[in-house]
Chains A and B, each alone.
Chain A
Amino acid sequence: MQVTVKLFAGLRQGRFAIREFEFADGAGMARIVADIGISDSELGILLCNGRHTELSCKLEDGDVVSIFPKIGGG
């Protein structure tokens, strides 16, 4: 299945802004995040097709995933 991954702000550094990935059917968000090499301490908000999602969520062909960095300053 094909999944489009969008990264934001600092997560793009050394990675990409938007890229299409080919994953085995049934792959979940956790797998994608691990494959891209995003650590727990970098990981912020996760969206799938514009809606909030969890690491445990399974993906479907054509999904667009947005991954935001963890931001904690004020």
Chain B
Amino acid sequence: MAAALVEYLRKVVDSEGLLSWSAYRDIGARFAVTYREIEETALKNGFFPKRLQRQRNLFGAAAQLDLLKAKVAIVGCGGLGGAVFEMLLRIGVGHLLVIDPDFFDESNLNRQFLATIENLGRYKVDAALARGRLVNPVAEVETLNQVFQSAAGRARLALCDLVLDALDSVSARLELARLCAQNQQMLIHGAVAGWSGQMVPVPSDSEKMAQIYPGNNPETEPVVPLPETEEPLDNSALTVNAVAALQVAAAVRYVCNFGGGPETSAIKPESGLAGCFIDLLEPALERLF
């Protein structure tokens, strides 16, 4: 069957080796295979999805295959989570787990891309599921409308290659970092406030999350519990999307390179694990540790 599929792919791709969406539908029915299996077979045989044509030279087929095989968790489906999810879908990540117990509220509309007038009061993760079908039906989108600390949350998180922090509280972030350390998973931290934000990759053997939030780590500093921040600062779509892009770029670097990707990957960053602080009011990007 595999050889027959490759032979058929050769017939239906265009002169540049691009596979159109209508061909996926045709092949899916004809060979009783999933869209994901079609995409994997296509990439392994030198063909490329037409929907990803404009990143063919940017990423290359090897990196695209790494992205397709990757299983990425997004913890929190608000401002950062919704933006990160949209980008991961569009660049062709094959498996996404989205965790958030919350419902959309009218105050989310200014910055949370999955929030619409129609879905106010509904689970945020349900919007992610619907968006996935519209934007990239190849991606397997798995959702959980519970906190990540729940038994189901912990069990499903443990199966992911990489975790993106899109939470909105300091204490939850410290908990997530401890869980990822136990699971030996890379965690990519992102946070926003006002006009600024930050992105820091947190390897499982590092103390970076505790360094990002000094004085908030109950394990190392069993002193008086500190407040989260003095007052929750306002957030806009601007910072949320800037930081989400930094997180997704770090995810791509990790999956295609540091995650043990093939040598042929076109993506070879010198400083793949560097973090940064971004200020959109006085535009500047500061390198963090």
Could you say which residues of chain B place their CB within 8 Å of the CB of A69?
A: 193, 196
What is the minimal beta-carbon distance from B73 to any residue of chain A, in angstroms? 14
B193 with A43: CB separation less than 8 A: no
Question: In A25-66, which residues have CB < 8 Å from any B CB?
Answer: 39-47, 50-52, 54-55, 66
Contacts of A42 in B (CB 8 A): 229-230
B194 within 8 A of A: yes
**How many residues in B have their beta carbons less than 8 Å from beta carbons of A?**
44
Q: Is B226 within 8 A of A40, CB to CB?
A: yes
B277 contacts chain A at the CB level, 8 A cutoff: yes
Any B CB within 8 A of the CB of A24: no
- In the bound complex, do residue A8 and residue B170 qualify as a contact, i.e. CB atoms below 8 Å apart? no
Give the residues in chain A near B166, CB-CB below 8 Å.
Answer: 74
Assess A45 versus B288: contact at CB under 8 Å? Given A10-B196, A68-B198.
Answer: yes
In the complex, chain A residues whose CB is within 8 Å of the CB of B282: 17
Interface centre among B81, B215, B235, B286 (most CB of A within 10 A): B286
Bound Cα distance from A73 to B232, whole angstroms = 7
From B165, B240, B279, contact of A9 by CB (8 A): B279
The interface stretch among B5-13, B41-49, B151-159, B206-214 is B206-214
Q: Complex formed: what's the CA distance from A22 to B233 in Å? A: 33
Q: A45-B198, A70-B229, A74-B168 are in contact. Are A8 and B286 (CB under 8 A)?
A: yes
B167 surroundings in chain A (CB, below 8 A): 74
Number of inter-chain CB pairs below 8 Å? 98
Complex partner residue of B193 from A10, A39, A50, A51, CB under 8 angstroms: A10
A14 close to chain B: CB less than 8 A:
no
B287 CB-CB contact with A under 8 Å? yes
Whether, in the assembled complex, A1 has its beta carbon less than 8 Å from a beta carbon of chain B, the answer is no
Contacting A at CB under 8 A, from B166-214, are: 166-170, 173, 190-198, 208, 211-214
Q: Please measure, in the bound complex, the distance between the C-alpha atom of A54 and the C-alpha atom of B261, giving whole angstroms.
A: 35
Contact of B169 among A43, A46, A50, A72 (CB under 8 A): A72
Give the residues in chain B near A46, CB-CB below 8 Å.
Answer: 214
Pairwise interchain contact A66-B191, C-beta atoms closer than 8 A? no
Which residues of the partner chain A approach B208 to less than 8 Å between Cβ atoms?
A: 52
Q: Does B289 contact A (CB under 8 A)?
A: yes
* Any A CB within 8 A of the CB of B228: yes
Q: Known pairs A52-B208, A74-B240; list 5 more (Cβ under 8 Å).
A: A8-B277, A45-B198, A45-B288, A73-B168, A73-B235
**B interface vs A, CB < 8 Å?**
76, 78-81, 165-170, 173, 190-198, 208, 211-215, 226-230, 232-233, 235, 240, 277, 279, 281-282, 286-289
